[in-house]
Amino acid sequence: MKIKKDAMAGTLESSDLLVKVSPNTGIEIVINSDVNKQFGDQIRTVVDQTLNDLNVTDGLIIIDDKGALDCAIKARVQCAVLRGAEEENLDWSKLL
């Protein structure tokens, strides 16, 4: 799956995150978190796993995390990617 257009999902509210995706060659991930020092690696792992499950091969993924739980990170990344890839047909076995 490739990111075809700019898209966003999520919010900047506490316990949430804002995910921005843009077209790019290859995968590039930038994580900007309130809790980066503590949980940076964990956030990164969730993001990587989520992108991997969706088979995202190209895209710039920018994340502004406000202390979100893993389930919110996963949901927001999925949503931004699906919006940016203009993907309508969801394979729930890969998303859940």
Partner 1 sequence: MKKIRRSMLFLPGANAAMLSTSFVYKPDSIMFDLEDAVSIKEKDSARLLVAQTLLLPVYREHGIETVVRINALNTPFGLKDLEAVVRAGVDVVRLPMTNSAEDIHELEAHVERIEKECGREVGSTKLMAAIESALGVVNAVSIAKASPRLIGIALAAFDYLVDMQTERGDGTELFYARCAVLHAARVAGIDAFDVVYSNVNDDEGFLKEVSLIKKLGYNGKSLINPRQIELLHNAYAPTAAEVENAQKVVEAAEEGERKGLGVISLNGKMIDAPIIARARKVIELAKYSGVRKEF
Partner 2 sequence: MYSLVDFSVVDISKSLSEREQIIQLLTLSDLNLDPQVNIFIVANMDGKMVACAGIDNNIIKCVAIDPNYRGNQLNLTLLDHVIKYANEQGHFHLFLYTKPENIDFFKGCGFYPIVEINNLVVLMENTPVGIKQYCKQLSEQRQNGAKIGSVVMNANPFTKGHQHLLEYAASQCDWLHVFVVNENVSLFPFDVRLQLVKEGAKHLKNITVHASSSYIISRATFPTYFLKDNIKIDYAYMGIDLLIFRNYIAPALNITYRFVGTEPYSQVTNAYNTSMRYWLQDKDVSSYPVITLIEIQRILEGEDIISASLVRKLLAAEQYEQVKRLVPDTTWNYLEANLDSVKKLIRSKGN
CB of 58 to partner 2, least distance (A): 14
When asked if residue 34 is in the footprint of partner 2 (CB under 8 A), the reply is: yes
- Residue 86: name its binding partner from partner 1, partner 2, none (Cβ under 5 to 8 Å by kind): none
Element (H or E) spanning 31, and its range? strand 27-33
Q: Is 64 in the site for partner 2 (CB under 8 A)?
A: yes
Q: Please state, in angstroms and rounded to a whole number, the distance separating the CA atoms of residues 76 and 95.
A: 12
Indicate the residue among 6 and 13 with the shorter CB distance to partner 1: 13
Contact residue for partner 1 among 69, 84, 85, 94 (CB under 8 A): 69
Question: By CB under 8 A, is residue 62 in contact with partner 1?
Answer: no
- Residue 12, burial from CB neighbour count under 10 angstroms (0-12, 13-18, 19+): exposed
Q: Which is nearer to partner 2, 23 or 95 (CB)?
A: 23
d(CA 86, CA 15): 27
Alpha-carbon gap, residue 69 to 93, rounded angstroms? 21
